Structure 1
Amino acid sequence: MTLSVIGVSAPAKRFLATLLPIAFLSVPLPLFAQSSASGANQNAGDTLPLEEIQTFAEVFERIKRAYVEEVDDRTLLRNAMRGMLSELDPHSAYLDEEEFQSLRESTQGEFGGIGIEVGMEDGQLMVITPIDDTPASRAGLLSRDIIVAIDGTPTANLSLQEAVTLMRGEPESELRMSILRSGEDTPREFILKREIIRSESVKHELLESGYGYLRISQFQSRTAEQARDALAMMAREQPLEGLVLDLRNNPGGVLQAAVGIADLFLDQGLIVYTEGRLSDTAMSFSASSNTPSGDIPLVVLINGGSASAAEIVAGALQDQRRGIIMGTDSFGKGSVQQIMPLGNGEGLKLTTALYYTPNGRSIQAQGIEPDVEVVRGRLEVAESRREIREADLDGHLSAQQAPRDRQEMAERLLDDYQLSEALNLLKALNVVDRRR
């Protein structure tokens, strides 16, 4: 095959002459092979767009020659690769060596930062969720807060990975963030102190006797195992009569961990499946018969910070009619990213598939709609007219003081309206069940 290079200057021609052989070697042969029988049916997209490559070489040369500051070839090519990936979708990215290492650290559950998951929406850097017990959550950052600036650097022109890199840093160092909250016209200023983020993904406790609470803040490699142990510990004294599974502000994580959590509550049927262009991106996961939770009544809490793997769990339990989903609409991230290491120590984060719930629903940009919508809020006890009770009578017998942990739980349920409603629903389900 003979290629002609026209319309560009000599430096660009030399660059193009170098680029084209690489391009041809890196693309499978069927994209270029044409026979006389099938040539008429080939789409324009089935061949390498030589005009665009010529234009790319010309742009490259003009930047080299005329840009106000001298830019080396390596930087230009690196920026071109970043742009190529960032224009695909908000989650694909080119990772340099530092960013690649940072991503690996975050998936291992320990890194230096403020404890926040972020994403891009309509070109804006947005908080997906603050991670539990981190500087971000303690400072009061909320899901869907828009990050306007980081240490005075506007985020409008930053890639997602560049923003994450700015937020990472040495423990005890300060980070200043400008946050624009929904319904407000003026950004808020937050000053946070970085910490080593060691995120424990599973917490558990009893809300009341017989009613358990299982909190999963993100999905790590051992999350399903830890959740199984938590269920066993809560049922040690007496069988559970109901369970609240809290997936609020859970940004996702490891796919296999989400499958493992759903499998704790399902004894058969599909959990999730994925579809992509390549055969190895098509996966399907089903429940096993070993289900430690049995048929415990289950309420799953979600909100706008519940994303990705959290939505897989909520969607599977909803489609299989295993639990009642309560709260507000989830985030709507239904894509799968693969981390692909490159030979130079850098890497790609590339969206390769979409995942679907058992009933074939795509969550991408849609999210999970709860069965029972309950907005975030706080319970307020209304003052009523004064009524005489036993405690008001002279000489009444005194009751023992309520345990401190019980008082703290009562205060917590007042502060968390969604959790309080979940507990009330579990009690109602048990009442209805006993009357059958």
Structure 2
Amino acid sequence: MRPRAASRGWIGRRPLRLPARSIAIMLVVIYLMTPRLAAADPARPALDTTMTQAVLNAALTFLLPRTLESHTSRDFCLWGLNGLSAIDPSLTVTDRDGTVQLALGQDVLLRVPDPAETDQAGWTDVTVRLMQAAWVRSSAVRDAGGGGLLQGFFDELFNHMDPYSRYVAPAPATTDRDTRTGGEAGTGLTLGRDARSILITAVNANGPAWPAGLVVGQRLYAVDGRSTRDQTPQTVTQWLLGDPGSRVTLLVGDERARRTIVLHRASVPPETVFAYADGHVVVIRITAFSADTAQEMSQYLDQASDDPHLRGLVMDLRGNRGGVLQQAVTASALVLDRGVAVVTHGRDAQANHVWAVQGGDMTNGVPIVVLVDGRTASAAEILAATLADHRRAVVVGSATLGKGLVQTIGQMPDGGELFVTWSRVLAPLGWPLQGLGVMPQVCTSRGEADLERQLQDLAAGQVDMRDTVQASRAVRFPVAVSRILDLRKACPAAIGTDSDLDAARSLIDNPAEYRAALSAIPEEGTYAPQAE
């Protein structure tokens, strides 16, 4: 007789038989001892793990080669996972003995072995798994939503870096892009209304309406045959928007005559340059550096050069927070014959540049005064530093903000954007803008009496700010914070006042003052910039 085969899973032993009551007790004990994840709730929104993983992977791909200091995938992910605690303080993430652990209070939700430090895919997967576990157990995380989860991750990650690197969520990122590039195509008209009809209240010089001859005060009676009667300016503005290059027909005029104008829609960056003439002195105010700033500036300089008696130019950069670096460089080329505008140094090869200009001074060397204040930053500081270091302009005002770090922008799969600092800015004479800012040759933040004394001394050939200005130009990276503070206290950062314009006019009206102020800048040639 063939022996009967043993039951599968049991070899040479008889199965242990327990009473039903004992089995029930064991099942209860096992259930109580097992860490529990909440049961799936059909009404509860699920975390989009596919998009979350795509964003995190794209972010690491963008960050790893570009940050000023070298970091690993492990660094970035562990920093970012602290964002879970920012959303729900009862959540903690720890990494000990080669294991990443997520806990909710005393309850361990998940333990995952550490991938290799540089394993980008592995750390992305670990991060998403911990986020998913937190999502299931924490109502605060679910209330924050997938967007809030990513925002918290990047906020905590960038807290370990510089003040300017950041993640911008999809909705505000779209707004930012529209501001930089002009957004949806339109005509460049700003509309209002009076008791009778829709009025043109502003015409953007960058838009198609400007060369067509439309002017402020004209009435807009119809758009593509649709009457604007009883419509709001907001509604009519929407009628003007459309695809780039598409045609839009406007009926404009006044009570005496009307005419039809056909425009082709275009993306219209906001105007950033405004100008007016004060006698034979032209004041150009630059509010930001967007895609068309240098072109706008060249138009005003072209008009200014038509004045055969032009005595000077004032560039007002007060309150200008910066923008596109290349636009600041191009703007400097409009009034500078040749030379290095700025040097950028970073870890990524593409971040290293010697930005040199060789154009032609549209103003034929007329005196230039640049106005700055404590809010002047970034690209605006670059323009001020470039013109000052080449002795092409006198800077008047207070110490500027001192933002000398350049960000590059990465588009994320969710429509958000990463702004990542990838280079440091050095002025033409080799000094770092970060923290230090631009020290003016004429300081207006120490009061009227002090300013009056400075101008009197300049007329006599003496520059009160000479030592501070030259000391700031001698600084080299890295520089101690104490040294920066010591230099900046000589002309404390402040918001600009009318005294700035008064000082600018005095410098232009008195060539001796202007020449003396220029002499505060060391001679060129003491620093030879090189791209690393």
Whether TM exceeds 0.5 here: the answer is: yes
Residues 104 and 373 of structure 1, relative CA distance in 2, 3 Å threshold = same
> Cα RMSD (Å) of the superposition?
4.2
Alpha-carbon shift at residue 303 of structure 1 (Å): 0.3
Residues 56 and 296 of structure 1, relative CA distance in 2, 3 Å threshold = farther
Residues 418 and 25 of structure 1, relative CA distance in 2, 3 Å threshold = closer
Alpha-carbon shift at residue 84 of structure 1 (Å): 3.7
Match 2:154 to one of 76, 82, 85 = 82
Q: 1:71 aligns to what SS in structure 2?
A: helix
Residues 342 and 205 of structure 1, relative CA distance in 2, 3 Å threshold = same
Q: Note if 1:205 corresponds to 2:276.
A: yes
Written as runs of structure 1 = structure 2, the 5 A alignment for 1:165-204 is 199-204=270-275
Contact map agreement 1:204 1:214 (CA 8 A) in 2: yes
Residues 71 and 301 of structure 1, relative CA distance in 2, 3 Å threshold = same
Contact map agreement 2:339 2:356 (CA 8 A) in 1: yes
Alpha-carbon shift at residue 47 of structure 1 (Å): 8.6
Instruction: Give the aligned partner of residue 511 of structure 2.
Output: 429
Q: Note if 1:366 corresponds to 2:431.
A: no
Contact map agreement 2:151 2:169 (CA 8 A) in 1: no
Instruction: Give the aligned partner of residue 249 of structure 1.
Output: 319
Contact map agreement 1:326 1:374 (CA 8 A) in 2: yes
Alpha-carbon separation, structure 2, partners of 1:432 and 1:80: 51
Q: Note if 1:97 corresponds to 2:170.
A: yes
Q: TM-score, length-normalised on structure 1?
A: 0.57
Alpha-carbon shift at residue 325 of structure 1 (Å): 0.6
Q: 2:510 aligns to what SS in structure 1?
A: helix
Match 2:179 to one of 103, 106, 109 = 106
Instruction: Give the aligned partner of residue 142 of structure 2.
Output: 71
Alpha-carbon shift at residue 90 of structure 1 (Å): 2.5
Instruction: Give the aligned partner of residue 394 of structure 1.
Output: none
* Equivalent position amino acid for 2:499 in 1: Y
Alpha-carbon shift at residue 200 of structure 1 (Å): 2.1
Alpha-carbon shift at residue 421 of structure 1 (Å): 1.3
Residues 84 and 304 of structure 1, relative CA distance in 2, 3 Å threshold = same
Q: 2:336 aligns to what SS in structure 1?
A: coil
Instruction: Give the aligned partner of residue 165 of structure 1.
Output: none
Match 2:404 to one of 311, 334, 340 = 334
Deviations 1:175-198 (A, max 9, x none): xxxxxxxxxxxxxxxxxxxxxx98
Match 1:221 to one of 264, 268, 291 = 291
Alpha-carbon shift at residue 426 of structure 1 (Å): 1.0
Alpha-carbon shift at residue 229 of structure 1 (Å): 1.8
Gap runs ≥5 in structure 2: 1-33, 38-49, 65-69, 79-94, 105-129, 185-201, 203-233, 235-267, 450-496, 516-532
Instruction: Give the aligned partner of residue 308 of structure 1.
Output: 378
Identity %: 28
Alpha-carbon separation, structure 1, partners of 2:438 and 2:514: 27
Contact map agreement 2:322 2:380 (CA 8 A) in 1: yes
Written as runs of structure 1 = structure 2, the 5 A alignment for 1:209-288 is 209=280, 211-288=281-358
Alpha-carbon separation, structure 2, partners of 1:207 and 1:56: 68
Alpha-carbon separation, structure 1, partners of 2:99 and 2:172: 31
* Equivalent position amino acid for 2:100 in 1: T
* Equivalent position amino acid for 2:402 in 1: G
Alpha-carbon separation, structure 2, partners of 1:361 and 1:279: 21
Alpha-carbon shift at residue 326 of structure 1 (Å): 0.6
Instruction: Give the aligned partner of residue 126 of structure 1.
Output: none
Alpha-carbon separation, structure 1, partners of 2:513 and 2:395: 19
Alpha-carbon shift at residue 347 of structure 1 (Å): 2.4
* Equivalent position amino acid for 2:377 in 1: A
Deviations 1:389-411 (A, max 9, x none): xxxxxxxxxxxxxxxxxxxxxxx
Deviations 1:331-351 (A, max 9, x none): 111111111112332221211
Q: 1:212 aligns to what SS in structure 2?
A: strand
Q: Which has the larger radius of gyration?
A: 2
Contact map agreement 2:269 2:290 (CA 8 A) in 1: no
Moved more, 84-93 or 416-425: 84-93
Residues 103 and 70 of structure 1, relative CA distance in 2, 3 Å threshold = closer
Alpha-carbon separation, structure 2, partners of 1:217 and 1:375: 21
Contact map agreement 2:58 2:412 (CA 8 A) in 1: no
Q: TM-score, length-normalised on structure 2?
A: 0.47
Contact map agreement 2:315 2:371 (CA 8 A) in 1: yes
Contact map agreement 2:389 2:428 (CA 8 A) in 1: yes
Alpha-carbon separation, structure 1, partners of 2:430 and 2:323: 21
Alpha-carbon shift at residue 56 of structure 1 (Å): 5.6
Alpha-carbon shift at residue 67 of structure 1 (Å): 3.8
Q: 1:262 aligns to what SS in structure 2?
A: helix
Instruction: Give the aligned partner of residue 391 of structure 2.
Output: 321
Task: Count residues in correspondence.
Answer: 291
Q: 1:55 aligns to what SS in structure 2?
A: strand
* Equivalent position amino acid for 1:83 in 2: D
Alpha-carbon separation, structure 2, partners of 1:419 and 1:251: 20
Q: Note if 1:298 corresponds to 2:368.
A: yes
Alpha-carbon separation, structure 1, partners of 2:60 and 2:507: 57
Contact map agreement 1:204 1:215 (CA 8 A) in 2: yes
